[in-house]
Every structure is written in C-alpha cells, then in structure tokens.
C-alpha cells in the first residue's frame, strides 16, 4: 500500500530576535544579539543584520562581541518567548492536523489528510504574519527530512516544496552536514574517506557504509543521503526526557577526562533543553564500562532548571559519588521531570540508583 504523505516543517525566522523587535521597534535594522551575560554563554539568536558581521547561533557571546562591537546584546526572556510560541502553536492547532513541536519555534505538521496542503501553509504563514507580526519559513515534502531541509533552504520567509528526487538533485554538492543527524564526527570520518558532498556519499554502497559505521548508522546514512525518511509526525514524542551521550573510540580511565566529558555534555544538554523552552529537575548520568555493565545514577534537585551550569554541577557530583571501577566506554547525561509534568518520585533528598542490564 503506497500512501501519499505530505509533511511540512515550519520554522520561525530569527524567533527570539523577532519577538524582541515587536516590543522594541526602535531596534529594527540594528545588529541585535540575544545571549545571556555570563562568562560561558553562547548566542541563542542573532538578527540578520548581526549575521552580516559573522555572528551566528551557538557562538560564544564573547566572540560575538568581538566580531560585532556595535551589536546590541539582550538577555533572553524565555517566559515571554514561551508565551508568543504558544500563540503561534495555537494558530497551528486550529488546522486540526497531527503536529510535532520540536522547540519553541519549530514544528512538523502532517498534512497528508488535507486536500490543499500548500494553500493551507500559505494561509498559515500569512496569519502568523498578520496576527502576530512574525515571519516563518516553510518546507514541504514527502517526509520530515525533506521538509526540514527545505525549510532551511531559503530563510527568511522561505517557502520551498521538494520531492525526495528534487532534494537529491538540489543539494547534491552540499556537505553531508546538511542532513540532520550527520554531526561533526560523522562528517569528519566521511571526509577521511574522501566524502565531502552528498553526491559523493551516495556513491558509497550500503555494505560499505554498514561495515564502516555499523549496521543501523550505515543504513541511516544510506537512506538519509537519498532524502528517504520513514519517521512519523508524532505528538507522543513530546519528550519525557532528554539526553546526550557518547561512546568513545578508546576507553577512558582518567577521572579528569571523564569530568571534562560530563561537563561538556551537560552544557550541550542544558543549551538544548533551554532552546526548547523546557526545564527539568531530575538529572542522571549513564556510565557504561568496558565489560558492558551500565550504571545509571539520578538525582532530583529542588527546583526546575534549564541552566547548563546547574546540570553540570549535579552530573559532576553524581560522577564523583560513583567513581567508575573500570575503564569507561560510554558516558551520558540525561534530564527528566519537566516543568509541565506532575512532580515525580523520588523525593529531593534521595538518590535512586539503577543497575541496567547490559
């Protein structure tokens, strides 16, 4: 049974900046940077004027200040951005189609059941502009992967519709990094194999990819480089927990190196949770030893947090209290019990411990 799928990805343009400009119209046309004013903070969003100076998301704020000394720096007001995001999502909910919200400003819509999906998205972006004063970019395709890449292709105010075959052709010379899920490490390994474009990646056979990257990652690289994706738009996916973990090429024994890894992971996790407008209060670490024993340790803290420093401090304390008895092959940090869920056991002063079966 072949079923026609029409998936859209809607991504607000420079969301935090655009929301700030609504209440600070005097800053329009100026290089505006939204970043926390702390030593290790990174840029959350930069206006298109600031981007001309080379300022970009996730760049250290200190670097952004050097690149753009005349920039206007504002601290993020997450409560306000969440409010505005709810207004955007409320307009989208009126369509009555399945949606999957990825962050405050990104959402997938499954338009397969609609007679006029393209017109629906044109009308939706017009409503968002007219009623909320905000711009969005839209990608439409047969799956989430095409929709996501298409929504990024012509920002701001992009509206790009592609089949998988058209996406293959249009992005043939793009870096493999264009594909969500292909991170810097995979791209680096591909570069080592002489692969710097998606077209070149598609020349590698399935068997070669599987033997180099493992069966499931190899298969995913094969499918995704062809813009095939069977992932569903799922409201249930609204996450119960978020985590970051890495497996090492060489097992780690040095405690200081483990601490460094945990700190880096906690900071990335905090940044991602914060970007989604979430805050959690259970923080856990996962440690897999060289004999494949997996240990998880969790702690529930007093208040909800999205602060990378607080997540790192708790994760480091858990690691210090549970020094791995053997070399470590995998390390991870997880956060759960988000603010909109019912508070969960265990109580704040108890540290539960689980020993997963390997």
**Separation of alpha carbons 307 and 297, rounded Å:** 20
Which region, judged by CB under 5 A, interacts with Mg ion, from 10-18, 120-128, 138-146, 218-226? 10-18
Q: How many residues does the chain have?
A: 358
Which region, judged by CB under 5 A, interacts with Mg ion, from 13-21, 138-146, 298-306, 324-332? 13-21
Q: With binding defined as CB under 5 A, does residue 11 bind Mg ion?
A: yes
Site for Mg ion in 244-303 (CB under 5 A): none
For Mg ion, which is the closer residue by CB, 103 or 351?
A: 103
For Mg ion, which is the closer residue by CB, 275 or 334?
A: 275
- Give every strand in the sheet of 241-252, ordered side by side: 241-252, 328-338, 280-289, 294-305, 353-356
Q: With binding defined as CB under 5 A, does residue 20 bind Mg ion?
A: no
Token reading at 298: 């969790």
Q: How far is the CB of 106 from Mg ion (least distance, A)?
A: 6
* Near Mg ion by CB under 5 A: residue from 105, 110, 229, 306: 105
For Mg ion, which is the closer residue by CB, 14 or 220?
A: 14
Whose tokens are 């080592």? That residue is: 192
Which region, judged by CB under 5 A, interacts with Mg ion, from 30-38, 85-93, 105-113, 330-338? 105-113
Q: How far is the CB of 101 from Mg ion (least distance, A)?
A: 12
For Mg ion, which is the closer residue by CB, 13 or 245?
A: 13
For Mg ion, which is the closer residue by CB, 137 or 265?
A: 137
**Separation of alpha carbons 150 and 44, rounded Å:** 22
End-to-end CA separation in angstroms for the chain? 38
Residue 267 a catalytic site member? no
Q: How far is the CB of 12 from Mg ion (least distance, A)?
A: 5
Q: How far is the CB of 61 from Mg ion (least distance, A)?
A: 19
Q: How far is the CB of 113 from Mg ion (least distance, A)?
A: 26
Residue 248: name the closest of 327, 307, 162, 149 by CA: 327
Whose tokens are 């603010």? That residue is: 339
Q: 20, 49, 100, 106: which is the annotated catalytic residue?
A: 106
Burial of 331 from C-beta contacts in 10 A (0-12 / 13-18 / 19+): buried
Which region, judged by CB under 5 A, interacts with Mg ion, from 15-23, 203-211, 287-295, 331-339? 15-23
Q: How far is the CB of 15 from Mg ion (least distance, A)?
A: 5
How many residues of this chain interact with Mg ion, rule: CB under 5 A?
Answer: 4
For Mg ion, which is the closer residue by CB, 17 or 285?
A: 17
Tell me the chain's radius of gyration from C-alpha atoms: 22
Residue 89: name the closest of 305, 270, 238 by CA: 238
Question: By three-state DSSP, how is residue 274 classified?
Answer: helix
**Separation of alpha carbons 46 and 18, rounded Å:** 10
Pairing relation of β-strands 159-161 and 294-305? unpaired
Query: What is the CA 319 to chain-centroid distance, rounded?
Result: 26
- Could you list the residues that contact Mg ion (CB under 5 A)? 11-12, 15, 105
Q: Which residues are catalytic?
A: 106
């Amino acid at each position: 049974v072949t079923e026609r799928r029409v998936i859209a990805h809607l991504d607000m343009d420079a969301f935090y900046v655009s929301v700030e400009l609504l209440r600070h119209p005097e800053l329009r046309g100026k290089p505006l940077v939204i970043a926390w004013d702390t030593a290790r903070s990174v840029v959350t969003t930069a206006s298109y004027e600031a981007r001309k100076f080379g300022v970009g998301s996730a760049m250290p704020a200190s670097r952004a200040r050097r690149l753009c000394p005349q920039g206007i720096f504002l601290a993020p007001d997450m409560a306000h951005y969440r409010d505005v995001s709810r207004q955007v999502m409320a307009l989208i909910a009126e369509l009555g189609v399945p949606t999957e919200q990825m962050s405050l400003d990104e959402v997938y819509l499954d338009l397969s059941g609609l007679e006029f999906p393209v017109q629906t998205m044109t009308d939706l972006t017009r409503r968002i502009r007219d009623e909320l004063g905000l711009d969005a970019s839209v990608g439409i395709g047969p799956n989430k992967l095409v929709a996501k890449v298409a929504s990024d292709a012509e920002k701001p105010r992009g509206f790009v519709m592609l089949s998988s075959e058209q996406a293959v052709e249009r992005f043939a010379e793009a870096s493999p990094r264009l594909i969500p899920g292909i991170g810097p490490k995979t791209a680096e390994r591909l570069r080592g194999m002489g692969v710097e474009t998606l077209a070149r990646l598609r020349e590698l056979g399935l068997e070669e990819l599987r033997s180099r990257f493992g069966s499931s990652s190899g298969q995913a690289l094969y499918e995704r480089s062809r813009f095939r994706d069977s992932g569903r738009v799922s409201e249930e996916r609204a996450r119960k927990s978020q985590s970051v973990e890495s497996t090492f090429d060489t097992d780690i024994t040095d405690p200081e190196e483990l601490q460094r890894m945990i700190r880096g992971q906690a900071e990335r996790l905090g940044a991602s949770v914060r970007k989604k407008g979430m805050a959690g209060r259970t923080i856990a670490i996962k440690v897999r030893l060289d004999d494949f024993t997996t240990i998880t340790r969790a702690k529930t803290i007093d208040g909800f947090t999205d602060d990378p420093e607080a997540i790192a401090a708790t994760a480091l304390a858990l690691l210090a209290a549970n020094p791995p008895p053997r070399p470590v092959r995998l390390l991870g940090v997880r956060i759960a019990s988000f603010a909109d869920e019912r508070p969960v056991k265990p109580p704040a002063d108890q540290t539960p411990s689980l020993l997963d079966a390997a």
